[in-house]
Structure 1
Amino acid sequence: MEAQYVNKEPSQFPKKSSSLGLWIGGIGFTFLIALLGYLLAKVPVFGNIGQLASAILIAVLYRQFLGYPELLRSGITFSSKKLLRFAIILYGLKLNIDTVLQDGLGLLVRDMGVIIFAILVTIWLARKFKADKNISLLLGIGTGVCGAAAIAAVAPIIKSKDEDTAISVGIIALVGTIFSITYTILRPLLPLSDIEYGTWSGISLHEIAHVALATAPGGQDALAFGLLAKLGRVFLLVPLCFLLMYIMKRKGSRDEGSEAKVEFPWFLIGFIIMSIIGSYVIGETIPVSIEFMNGISQLTTWCLTAAMVGLGLNISLRELHSKALKPLIAMGITSILLSVLAYFIV
């Protein structure tokens, strides 16, 4: 009996090492596609779409033609879940709380109105079009707050499917890019000062990258006020997430007859802590070089891209047309209305 036990024990080690290897391989696979997305974004046509959307596109095409790599599922899931939360935590460094509170209180009120408008109008249009409710809600939040980062943050709270999250991120990246390019074309034709143009872009465009793309041609004032307005929307992501938690618990209580359990988004605490560190510690208590901060920003982008690759591998194109077209139309109309509204409140 003892000999048999000794003989069986070593055979378990290859399985463990194999599982670890496949887990690492799965994570590496998501970063490989993220790298391909980065390279694709260097191509002129895809340059305006960006690394994130390009990587998701490659992941979706891989899934359709080669299937889901089941052996690597554990590592891919780690990227789409854990790395996603890690990226959101690091994203907090982009938010300077002190700047928002001192210089952007007026913008903060307008940002709040923008978020409420975007979410409610998108949901209302989705009902009219009988669009997918989950994707429409994610797109409304992404349009109102801060694009892919907002979608990634609220997805676990509303218990979104991975494929719905990836579809929403892909749509928000595409539409946001189209709008930011349109803004740069319209800029010379609009009777707006650089500051007004930057503010308009900051309170209406979808992501920080889109705001930077649209306002950079307007000069430093346009860029500064655009980013300040956008940071106000990022700042409001945290209270929005807690409000969604409350709504989900209430909804669960009505549906199930008892208080529903909603997983607390602990990564939001990390987001807040990193925001505090970035606002009051780095640069004041602890001197940090610009190169270091740029490195953190790049790490955030790569982790978020790898996470989106993991989500993109869950997308089935057969369901994409039926699920995404109507939410896309609803979000597109909302974005146009939001741009018009923001223009008149600047």
Structure 2
Amino acid sequence: MTETALPTPQIPERFADCARRFNTRFEQYFRELADSFDAPPSSRFTPECLDLLRDLSLRGGKRLRVAMLYEAARLVTPDPVPGLEEAALGVELLQTHGLVHDDIIDDGPVRRGGPSTYYAYREQFPDRPQDALGLAVLAGDLALVLSLRVLLDSPAPPSARHAMVGVLSAAASAMIAGQITDIERDFTHLPSEELLHAVSDYKTAHYSILAPVQLGLLAAGEDPARFDAELRRYARLVGIYETMRDDYLDLFGDARTMGKSTGSDLRDGKRSYTITAVLAAVNGTERAVVEAALGAPSCTPQTVAAVREIAVSRGVEQKLRADMRRYAELASAEAAAWRPRWREEAVTVFEHLPLWSVERLM
């Protein structure tokens, strides 16, 4: 390849531009959906459901899945390809589905700086909690169906459309298996590294990294099945450090920056990478402090701060940072091996994305 590699500082700029353009397209999608959605004309709840999905979908997020999808197509060609916009819509609608159901499972009141879909319904129907729950479940289900429907309506060739639906449905299935395993993990006092990685792989990597790359390649006319093993290795490594990053921020992050309170994993009794590392590092009085806070909804910000101080003093924060860096470097090396096969510029993005993501935290 004779192309010039994309300078690393341009990657955030490029991703931000991609997010802006996609957000405009996403807004257009929801406007068109509101006009065309088939529902009983007398139904008031159906338009409200669509409004809540629209609000959550457009409220935030860096659209890294979308950027990865477009960059995957650029691995093959710099030219526009049919079906790429619809693939991006499908991936983000699947993300919306996951967020709605995740907040139901976790009883989460806040998402992306606003009320979760579940809590929006709870606020609207305070005297009918079961109906609020049911409506939230159905909203998440609808987002999943819409994610597949948008692919079926794409202008991609029929064979590509069929393959894309297969990729996204497999990602959705993996996400659900990951959610189940996530709950199963929290029945274990001290999960193994293998179990933690499995949750990350299925709950995050399959739909956030692997599926966007596969969809981008398919839209560009490449068969991702030819490179399945290496794409899965890359997705798994990125998924591990991204999950570690989210878990890290839940204890060590800034609530104002994240748009939600810290310590939620601790209060919910979740055996995340961070909480598992803290449990493995403490004993005696410190262990008693951590275990008293674990799974206690009444756990105060002061208690969260105390657990954070214990984690720092026991080297947990430093260890997590080192682990994130290690997995990011492994992912970067995996992508660098794509260079002889695909376009230099796009390979550079996949090579430097893991390191850029970790450096933002450091």
Give me the TM-score of the superposition, normalised by structure 2. Answer: 0.26
Q: Which has the higher contact order (CA 8 A, sep 6+)?
A: 1
The structure in which a higher percent of residues are helix is 1
